[in-house]
Amino acid sequence: MDYQNRAGSKKGGGGVASFSETNADRRERLRKLALETIDLEKDPYFFKNHLGSFECKLCLTVHVNDGSYLAHTQGRKHQTNLARRAARDSREGRSDPITGLPIAGVPARGLIAGAPGATTVQVRQNIVKIGRPGYRITKIRDPATRQLGLRFQLQYPDIGADIVPRHRIMSAFEQRVETPMENKHFQYLLVAAEPYETVAFKIPSKEIDRRPTSFFSHYDKDTNEYFLQLLFKPDREERYSGVPGLR
């Protein structure tokens, strides 16, 4: 057998490991080491989404399994972001002594509660998000006015006892997820209900008919379902909206 093309190897040695094989072995060693030293249940940045994947809320990365996430926590990117987060919390002086996470809504220094000029600041609680709610979107058309619209149905099986979902319409220039110039023809419908994550739906940037019969929402406490319906104004009505004498 010819061994001359197996550079750096000896007879019976099996050849030199390739670069990909070396990386795979390194990731496996890091995963085993992390499993022995890290408890994922206590990791504030570990999150399992509704698709079964694992996300790092600090680095905004998605991983196919827990081993990939653990290897990511040992990498340079995650460690750098941890150092930046710790430096920011130390600089701002706003951290929870239990979780180590920053607390939003700390009163300004020098103000005493009840003193003249003091303002009451609501302290936001650190609530662990449990994922996104299930939803269903249906295209509708009003049989009388022929207006097009959308009906949203969201399920919140584990919502808090005193929590009612809330919604908000956000323009493309308010959001920070996508480039506004590329989305000027769209707007966003946001629905929030703790402890679930806030979900956003991208809808056409048309004027919404705000009449109570066209735009309304309802929360069913028995089934923990939230319903929202909206209708868009017709093109002619939207074009001549506000012109006196025209309907």
| Residue (of 114, 122, 119, 85) closest to 102 by Cα position | 85
Is 201 among the domain residues?
Answer: yes
Is 147 among the domain residues?
Answer: yes
* DSSP states along 96-147: -TTT----S-PPPTT--TTSTT----PPPP-PPP--PPEEEEEEEE-TTT--
Quick one: tokens of 183? 């989305």
Is 189 among the domain residues?
Answer: yes
Range of the domain at 43: 19-77
Is 91 among the domain residues?
Answer: no
Name the phi and psi angles at 41, rounded to 5: -65, -25
Q: Which of 77, 109, 124 is the last residue of a domain?
A: 77
What pLDDT does 228 receive? Answer: 92
Q: pLDDT of 100-126, one tens digit each?
A: 554 444 433 333 344 444 444 444 555
What pLDDT does 151 receive? Answer: 92
Structural domains of the chain, count:
2
Q: pLDDT of 27-67, one tens digit each?
A: 788 777 766 777 777 888 888 887 888 899 889 899 888 87
Is 124 among the domain residues?
Answer: no
Is 218 among the domain residues?
Answer: yes
pTM: 0.45
CATH code of the domain containing 184: 2.60.40
| Residue (of 105, 123, 121) closest to 113 by Cα position | 121
